Amino acid sequence: MTGTWTHRTVLLNEAIAALLVNPDGHYIDATFGRGGHSRLLLSQLSKQGRLTAFDKDLEAIAEASSIVDPRFAIRHEGFRQLGQLPPASAAGVLLDLGISSPQIDNPARGFSFRSDGPLDMRMDTTRGQSVADWLAEASIETMTEVIREYGEERFAGQIAKAIDRRRQERGPVRGTAELAEVVAGAVKTREPGKDPATRTFQALRIFINAELEELQQALEASLTVLQPGGRLVVISFHSLEDRIVKQFIAGHSREVFDRRAPFAAPKAMKLKALGRTKPSDEEVAGNPRSRSAVMRVAERTEVAA
């Protein structure tokens, strides 16, 4: 089912303005989603420009098939496969992290506790284990670790024990409403305006899709794929993602000295940080889901001979 749920692309104009350094270049939209960034970028590329997009979601692939443009290609792969592209072949790489509104709003995908649906949460429903299947067999210790690490949830232990107790008494949790109910019963205090299941759902989604590991792999691959002067643009939606991006850019934006060889020339920095952008008040008012977004931009420096 596509087209039923709408999606508003976050930081649309800001991202493309930061990314586009050469209209004749080859660009990578590593998270096609519903194609907002890709369509705007294509409209600004020359006839010689090219765009390659990646996405794991079959609904995103179906949406991409509506773009009839010889300059555009879509790959049904996660952005961890970015490194398969030729070295120094891209003028820009865009990573728009997180999940799209249609994924959240479609109960059948299992990403949200707001409507009941199967507890799936896989970005690519053709492969991998669903959250329901994982919760049916995971130990209390493993569930606690995942919910604490990826959800930054201080009640992770209580939630894991409640899930285990629920599956012992009535069988595994299979639906989003069931899980939200179990979590609500285990979380003793609630943050104002936030459902008690928010952090747990975030943690399980990130874990089941290996999102942070894939992000780290894609960032490293971007160093190889980007041409000198090429732009890396990353939009993140929670602190775990943003911390990884911030530290990655910072770590490659300074010269590295080898303490074992103090008189050797330092290794040149690979990136130049170009700043951080948040959505405007106007954008947040029109699209509340954009309020947590952070866009970081860096430029690939000249590659040493």
Q: Are 66 and 44 in contact (CB under 8 A)?
A: no
pLDDT digits (tens, 9 = 90+) for 185-217: 999 777 777 889 999 999 999 999 999 999 999
* 3 state SS of 124: coil
Query: Which domains are assigned to the chain?
Result: 12-102+211-300 (3.40.50.150), 124-208 (1.10.150.170)
Residue by residue, what is the 3-state secondary structure of 60-85? Answer: HHHHHCCCCCCCEEEECCCHHHHHHC
Which range, of 161-165, 180-184, 288-292, averages the lowest pLDDT? 288-292
* pLDDT given at position 3: 42
pTM of the model: 0.88
Q: Which tokens sit at 240?
A: 């775990």
Strand duo 271-277 + 294-300: pairing: antiparallel
Pairing of strands 26-29, 50-54: parallel
Separation in Å, CA 225 to CA 213, 220, 242, 253: 18, 9, 21, 17
Q: What percent of the chain has pLDDT over 70?
A: 91
Residue 132 has pLDDT above 90, yes or no: yes
> What pLDDT, in 10s, does the model give residues 239-296?
999 999 999 999 999 755 455 655 555 566 899 999 999 999 999 999 888 899 999 9
Instruction: State yes or no: pLDDT of 300 exceeds 60.
Output: yes
Average pLDDT along the chain: 90
Q: Which pLDDT score is estimated for 108?
A: 78
Structure confidence at residue 12 as a pLDDT band (50, 70, 90) = very high
